[in-house]
Structure 1
Amino acid sequence: MSTFYTVLSWLLVFGYWLLIASVTLRILMKRRTVPSAMAWLLIIYILPLVGIIAYLSFGELHLGKRRAERARTMWPSTAKWLNDLKSCHQIFSHDNSDVARALFQLCEKRQGVAGVKGNQLQLLTSTDDTLQALIRDIQLARHHIEMVFYIWQPGGLADEVAESLMAAARRGVQCRLMLDSAGSVQFFRSPWATMMRNAGIEVVESLKVSLLRVFLRRMDLRQHRKVVLIDNYIAYTGSMNLVDPRYFKQDAGVGQWVDLMARMEGPVATTMGIIYACDWEIETGKRILPPSPDGNIMPFEQESGHTIQVIASGPGFPEDLIHQALLTAVYAAREQLIMTTPYFVPSDDLLHAICTAAQRGVDVSIIVPRHNDSMLVGWASRAFFAELLEAGVKIYQFEEGLLHTKSVLVDGQLSLVGTVNLDMRSLWLNFEITLVIDDDGFGGDLARVQDDYIARSRLLDGKRWSRRAYWQRIVERLFYFFSPLL
């Protein structure tokens, strides 16, 4: 009997080390950044069982076998649709400003379509204005309403949007609503999901969170886009979830969330529609390719319309494109670079690009919230401040709520607005969307919004920051160690 237990114990030890060795080999064979690989290896060696479970759950980008197959099979029809769209020559622009040219060329090369022109574009900086405008557009919809949001939380004006959406479905408008399972957990626990389905709305819970799927799909992969499409003509996107901030995270201690949304009319709704169609097919298996734009879709003259390129990121979409786009935009800056983000945990390449821009004379400003709803990201972001300040970057800490706007403005001409945070999760993992606008008029509008944020912020003093408590530096470095995993 003692021999049996001896053999069994040796087999267990051998299996244990074989498991560690196999996971180590798996980490090394995956093409990833050295800091990320080292972080995972250290976690696995310090806390082997916890580390292995964490890595198998969150260490690789598993879309799931079924979704991955759908993503693979949808591309032939999507590519054909994009090719047919190119025959609508009148909607595409190939004339960009010097600061925007390289970025638009990158996006066209990697996504297959150029930026589209002749769009009307309006910035909405108030949640009330955004939701009221959305309600009006829903009430006027005639054919289709399609939405995707990371968070839909009942309460306040969000309920009025829900009521108007159900009324549209009852009068015969085809309504589709896709919400992230984790972000919209309160919505799916409320009566609203059943009420909407009973009204005729197709409601889809995207990327369901379940312990049964923990090793089959990466559980922290999230549908982070915020998009509304109406009649293949009106589109919304930006940083705002479908929430009324007066009813949202009131106990978080960070104040109301401050967001920015863009409302658009024109052919950009069609290019955003193909992104929605891909998301819908990956999640449901159903194909809903949007109609191609007709000849009357450009009511705005080229001189008064905006040129917009749409960048989609996430599994199944061009890999690393949003990261490349941000790097290209930062390196294109010659005079001024302003960035706003609630979560600032950049890659080494992006951090280097920002610091280099400041060191070569660009006026660089980063606006972040002073108080963050994520303790991990809040501390990790501070680990980058010293290097940024030393390079000459101005860091503003927004004091009137949680600044949730994600925006980049380059030389007052090139704007990036959307759902992408300047952190690892947005850059490498989640389903995200960003608008790229080449227009000094829109740039001026965005600059006024950013100036308002700066007026409500406190400029971080480099000398005072260098004298912060030693324990704070230790905590910053501790969370910085986990930054490749955030």
Structure 2
Amino acid sequence: MDLHTSGWKTVLSGWVDMISPFWPQIAATISISLAVVVTVHVTQHKRDSRAAAAWTGLVWLVPLLGAILYLLLGVNRIRRRARQLTGGIIDAADGWRVAAEAQPEPKHLQVLSRLVGSLTHLPLTAGNAITPMDAPGALQAMIARIDAATESVYLATYIFGNDAAGKPLSDALARAVTRGVRVRVLIDGVGSLYSLPPVIYRLRRQGVRVERFLHSLAPWRMPYMNLRNHRKFMVVDRQWGFTGGMNIRAGYIQSPPRITDLHVAVEGPVVGQLLRSFAADWYFTCGELLETSYCGAARVGDVQARGISAGPDADFDKRRLTLLASIGSAEHRIRIVTPYFVPDLTLLATLQLAMLKGVQVQVVVPARNNLRLVHWASMHALRWLVDEGAELHLSAAPFDHSKVMSVDQHWVMVGSGNWDARSLRLNFEFDLECYCEALAGQLDRWIDRRIEQGRHMTSADFQQMAPWRRVRNALAHMMEPYL
């Protein structure tokens, strides 16, 4: 055995000695070959020319490492796996439409409703009740609804902390399991690691069925690390729902709070669309089929609503096209509240066109952000928008994680989606579009308070900004395709 091993070592050493003078040429050949292969793949599969250019530049300027990063982060394998499991309709519902679909009251918003209906293949449902809540109120309402559950509780979230917010909710879920309620919890594979130890171990000890979306600690088994399930909703007894931007974290409920957010309680037929979106994600994750029929009343309020379930699988660009359509439909005022505002050039140009036709555009972002790079990039994009006539307001502390858009005091969109490349291209998101003057008025008053308590930033403020800060912001904005 020793002689055999020694022989192999001699042969191997000989090969190394023979090719060692040619290592530079070999390395160059491998690097160039990988760059060419990646470039061909990028040109064939990337619809966004800026993303294609960014990835191409990376693989040529950073040999080998750029190709590895593209393999891990740039290749979208979700579409293929989704079709294997669901026939390609992972995010869409079953495509049903009603014969007499609800129509929004303002005539100019009816085109928007038809367009979003074509994008989602879902009807605009009438008779819903949508109740906005702050994060502490929403958490308490969710716990109360879980404690009253008799049939099922389905919860999906990006972050579920093992902390002062997550523990009471996990205890309520455990009590529901004890009563015989069917409980299913879906946590994003990356979001589940925000709290250590992860709450999944606590939930499993309590008998709660919990799964992690696209999770693996082994890089070679985790080719989806850049594609996250950012959705946040809960459906109880197939008739009550909650959705919005709130994660389950202690920062929302501590005193004083470190984060604020907006969540909504949902009643009415649109809950069926939340339910089907959860069922698709659950089936995608673990293969279990859930009952998706809505069990609530046909009419509990006056809000016309529709779910917009979008992701990087079969629903690419659904949210982005919805935003473009809503901006184009505006005749009077557009209001945007988001923690992360790094839109692409098309969205910026569409907002500019809206302002040119006389539409007032107001953008509210946090004065202090939890992601500095994104905040710097936002400031660069907002500088140009403010120069074109938009109003920029910086909301006061604590950090506001809310995501709300309002158009013409009648249409609103609330949910999990932000105005950045990650939400628009990489994440699985869920938003509600709602047509209701009363609800829009309520949320407009909520935005008014954000504006009153914040600071108005003008073109003069940007001009007075230190030159090095403007350069920093511009450099950060160059990373827009990756943010």
Q: Assess if the C-alpha contact under 8 Å between 2:364 and 2:394 holds in 1.
A: yes
Normalising by the residue count of structure 1, what TM-score does the alignment of the two structures yield? 0.90
- For 1:431 and 1:381, how far apart are their aligned partners in 2? 22
What one-letter code is carried by the residue in structure 1 that aligns with 2:208?
I
- Gaps of at least 5 residues in structure 1 are none
Q: Whole-Å Cα distance in 2 between the matches of residues 205 and 352 of structure 1?
A: 38
Which 5+ residue runs of structure 2 have no aligned equivalent? 1-13
- 2:54 aligned partner: 39
Q: So what's the TM-score if we normalise by structure 2?
A: 0.91
How much does 1:67 deviate? 4.8
Q: Which amino acid aligns with 1:135?
A: I
- Asked whether the 8 Å contact 1:228–1:235 carries over to 2, the reply is yes
Pairing of 1:16-415 with structure 2 (within 5 A): 16-63=31-78, 66-72=81-87, 79=94, 82-83=95-96, 86=97, 92-124=101-133, 126-187=134-195, 189-190=197-198, 192-213=199-220, 217-245=223-251, 256-291=258-293, 293=294, 297-300=297-300, 304-415=301-412
- Once residues 344 and 274 of structure 1 are traced to their aligned partners in structure 2, the CA distance between those partners, rounded to angstroms, is 29
8 Å CA contact 2:82, 2:88 repeated in 1: no
| Shift in Å, 1:394 | 0.5
Deviation string for 1:143-196 (max 9, x for gaps)?
000000001112224322221111111011100000112112145624x43342
Return the offset for 1:42: 2.3
Provide the C-alpha distance between the structure 2 equivalents of 1:380 and 1:198, rounded to a whole number of angstroms.
Answer: 43
How far off its partner does 1:446 sit?
0.6
Task: Go from structure 1 to structure 2 and tell me whether the alpha carbon gap of 1:360 and 1:66 turns closer, same or farther (over 3 Å shift).
Answer: closer
Q: What is the aligned partner in structure 1 of residue 9 from structure 2? A: none
**Equivalent position amino acid for 1:105 in 2:** R
Count of residue pairs brought into register by the alignment? 468
Q: Deviations for 1:454-486, whole angstroms, at most 9, x for unmatched residues?
A: 112100021121132221122112111111121
- Aligned partners of 1:30, 1:77: CA distance in 2, in Å? 22
Q: How does 1:380-459 map to 2 (within 5 A)?
A: 380-459=377-456
Structure 1 residue 14: deviation in Å?
1.9
Are 1:470 and 2:467 counterparts? yes
Change (3 A) 1:409 1:99: farther
Distance 1:55-1:388 versus aligned 2 partners, 3 A rule = same
Q: State whether residues 181 and 206 of structure 1, in contact with CA within 8 Å, keep that contact through their aligned partners in structure 2.
A: yes
Matches of 1:120 and 1:78, distance apart in 2 = 21
Secondary structure in 2 matching 1:277 = helix
Query: Does the CA contact (< 8 Å) of 2:161 and 2:249 recur in 1?
Result: yes
User: How many angstroms apart in 1 are the aligned matches of 2:63 and 2:83?
Assistant: 29
Identity %: 25
Q: Check 1:183–1:414 CA distance in 2 against 1; reply closer, same or farther (3 A cut).
A: same
Question: Counterpart amino acid of 1:342?
Answer: P
Q: Would you say the 8 A contact 2:91–2:277 is kept in 1?
A: no
The 1:336/1:75 distance shift into structure 2, 3 A limit, reads closer
User: How far off is 1:78 after superposition?
Assistant: 5.5
Cα distance between partner residues in 1 of 2:155 and 2:91 = 24
CA distance in 2, matches of 1:104, 1:139: 36
Query: Would you say the 8 A contact 1:406–1:420 is kept in 2?
Result: yes
* Residue 245 of structure 1, CA deviation: 1.9
Contact 1:97–1:438 (Cα < 8 Å) also in 2 = no
Bigger radius of gyration: 2
Contact preservation (8 Å) 2:136, 2:252: no
3-state SS, counterpart of residue 384 of structure 1 = helix
RMSD, matched Cα: 2.4
Matches of 1:146 and 1:4, distance apart in 2: 60
Distance in 2, matches of 1:391 and 1:17, equals 44
**One-letter amino acid of the counterpart of residue 213, structure 2:** S
Question: Given that residues 252 and 260 in structure 2 are in contact (C-alpha distance below 8 angstroms), is that contact kept between their aligned partners in structure 1?
Answer: no
Query: 1:285-329 CA distances to partner (integer Å, 9 max, x unpaired)?
Result: 1121412x35x62243xxx42110110001334221110000011
Report the AA paired with residue 210 of structure 1: L
Q: Secondary structure at the match of 1:138?
A: helix
How many Å separate the matches in 2 of 1:77 and 1:412? Answer: 29
Residue identity opposite 2:235 in structure 1: L
Q: What amino acid does structure 1 have at the position aligned with 2:113?
A: F
* Contact residue 240 and residue 260 of structure 1 kept, 8 A: yes
> 1:336, 1:94 → 2: CA distance?
21
Show CA shifts across 1:428-462 (max 9, x none). Answer: 11010010001101000110110111112100021
Q: In the superposition, relative to structure 1, how do residues 459 and 183 fare at CA in structure 2: closer, same or farther (>3 Å)?
A: same
